[in-house]
């Protein structure tokens, strides 16, 4: 029997992996659960992603697209005369107001990098990209510290269930900017 042409299968598998993690957490992510969710043969998941780490990398890259788009939409991040702390606080507010599943998934995959070294380069790449963008407005050390503070603020909101306080975020971010 000839192979069916299915150019979107790889993407459907990634989307299914994201849904599985959102529903069952990383512990529920297997080639079998993803194949069932994507409605593809098990062999398709292992054909496109030899290991679960490869699938997690693809899912992490896709999950990060939401934050990357939010950053790109904030034109004030590149305005040398703008209030960088206010822009960053607004960016966090915009992002945290979005789909909580995507945000939680991204952090779950970030933290999975502690035990899955294959994810670490992706996490580092994403953090470095934001720090490089911020370094255009401040020095590289401050830019890295701002990224760390932003991650900390997001984790506190996600883990404590407290609402995001943009005024607080702006104040603490401003304290770090020379």
72-124: per-residue pLDDT in tens?
888 777 788 889 999 999 999 988 988 777 788 888 888 888 999 999 999 99
pLDDT of residue 1: 46
pLDDT of residue 68: 82
- What is the Cα–Cα distance from 10 to 59, expressed in whole angstroms? 11
Residue 95: how many other CB atoms lie within 10 Å: 21
Q: Does the global pTM surpass 0.75?
A: yes
**Domains of the chain as residue ranges with CATH:** 75-176 (1.10.357.10)
DSSP for 91-140, please give it.
HHHHHHTS-HHHHHHHHHHHHHTTT-GGGHHHHHHHHHHHHHHHHTTS-H
pLDDT of residue 4: 67
Residue 169: how many other CB atoms lie within 10 Å: 24
Burial of residue 5, with CB atoms counted within 10 A of its CB: 0-12 exposed, 13-18 middle, 19 or more buried: exposed
């Amino acid at each position: 029997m000839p192979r069916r042409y299915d150019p979107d299968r790889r993407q459907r598998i990634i989307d299914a992996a994201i849904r599985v993690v959102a529903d069952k957490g990383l512990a529920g992510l297997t080639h079998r659960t993803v194949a069932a969710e994507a409605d593809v043969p098990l062999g398709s998941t292992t054909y496109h992603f030899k290991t679960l780490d490869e699938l997690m990398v693809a899912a992490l890259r896709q999950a990060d697209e939401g934050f990357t788009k939010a950053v790109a939409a904030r034109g004030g991040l590149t305005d040398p005369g703008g209030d960088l702390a206010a822009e960053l606080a607004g960016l966090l507010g915009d992002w945290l107001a979005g789909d909580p599943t995507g945000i939680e998934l991204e952090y779950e995959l970030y933290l999975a990098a502690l035990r899955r070294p294959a994810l670490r380069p992706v996490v580092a790449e994403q953090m470095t990209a934001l720090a490089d963008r911020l370094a255009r407005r401040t020095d590289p050390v401050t830019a890295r510290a701002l990224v760390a503070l932003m991650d900390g603020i997001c984790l506190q909101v996600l883990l404590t269930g407290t609402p995001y306080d943009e005024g607080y975020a702006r104040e603490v971010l401003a304290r770090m900017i020379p």
